[in-house]
Amino acid sequence: MAKLTRTWWGEKFLNVLAISMDSGRLGRGRAYSGPNRLLTFVIVGPVAKATVRGNVNPYFGVYKEPRYQVEVKLKPFSAQDWDKLIDAISQNAACLSQLLLNEMPSAIENVFAQQNLHLLPQRSTDLISQCSCPDYASPCKHVAGVYYKLASLLDRDPLLLFQLRGMDTVRLQEKLAASPLGKALLEQRGAGGQALEYHSHRYPDPPRQPLAATGLKAFWQGSAPLPLVNASGKAATPAVLVKKGGDYPAFWERDNSFIGVMEALYTTITDKNRAVL
């Protein structure tokens, strides 16, 4: 059976289901996480809402295929808690730099533990859900299906976990970027909220002459060679643009990290072509 999640935080996110429902409903719930069952799925603020297709069951008098409305969220943190958490994260260079690149820091739970909190759900009370189905158990298999769907999304967008805890991800990154350490990190990467700077002496403007007066060789090669570019040193953050897009994009079906592969590829290409840059 294919894995639903490929990251450590995705796996831990699913652990709360095992202690919140019986194994029978848990096993059936996985089948409700696919597009054949999830007719609609949307995340509005900290709440995941879905329409789930149920089963016809004449034994229980269900002759028409039912549609159940499901809502799933995590126990939110207060505004005061988030202020303390953001302040703590802003003073942790490792966590801060990774979050600014949409990565999940490996030590993030240590920061939350200092405030007697935990980002990933650990108890059944962390999971808040409701479903319109007649099942007396809560959470039911339909809720489990939506929860499995959320877990798969966390692979590509780990900051969604902050949103489910009540912190808007855009606001989170704005606050982190506005901190003194955040500003310093962004300036070091050349992404301090300003456009990239291209020096005119390095990339001169093409000569402004009529096209008809330019020969083919001069058109393609230029009238004079471009100045050499100093390619010494390595990028502070390899594959920075890839990292900003998040790990495990939709087209990536392998279990290893897409960002990890791209980091190695960027470094290899840079080292291999350094002499001809």
- The predicted-structure confidence for 205-217, as pLDDT tens digits, reads as follows 555 555 555 567 7
Question: Which tens digits make up the pLDDT trace of 84-111?
Answer: 999 999 999 999 988 988 889 989 999 9
Q: What is the mean pLDDT of the chain?
A: 81
pLDDT number for residue 41: 95
Residue 94 lies in a domain: yes
**Torsion angle of the four alpha carbons 203, 204, 209, 210, in this order, in degrees rounded to the nearest 10:** 10
Q: Say yes or no to pLDDT of 200 above 50.
A: no
* Cα-based distances in Å from 161 to 9, 22, 156, 227: 9, 24, 11, 48
Domain that holds residue 63: 8-186
- Mean pLDDT to the nearest integer, 50-70: 86
- To the nearest 10°, the Cα dihedral for 16, 22, 23, 25? -100
Q: Do 127 and 235 fall into the same domain?
A: no
pTM over 0.75: no
Categorize the per-residue pLDDT at 192 as very low, low, confident or very high, splitting at 50, 70 and 90: very low
Task: Name which of 21-30, 70-79, 250-259 the model is least confident about.
Answer: 250-259
Question: How many other CB atoms sit within 10 Å of the CB of residue 146?
Answer: 25
Are 60 and 127 in the same domain? yes
128-180 tens-digit pLDDT: 999 998 888 889 999 999 999 999 899 888 999 999 999 999 999 999 999 99
* Same domain (yes/no): 68, 148: yes
| Residue 135 burial (CB count, 10 A) | 13
For residue 130, give the 3-state DSSP assignment.
strand
| 51 in any annotated domain | yes
Please say which residue of 186, 204, 239 terminates a domain: 186
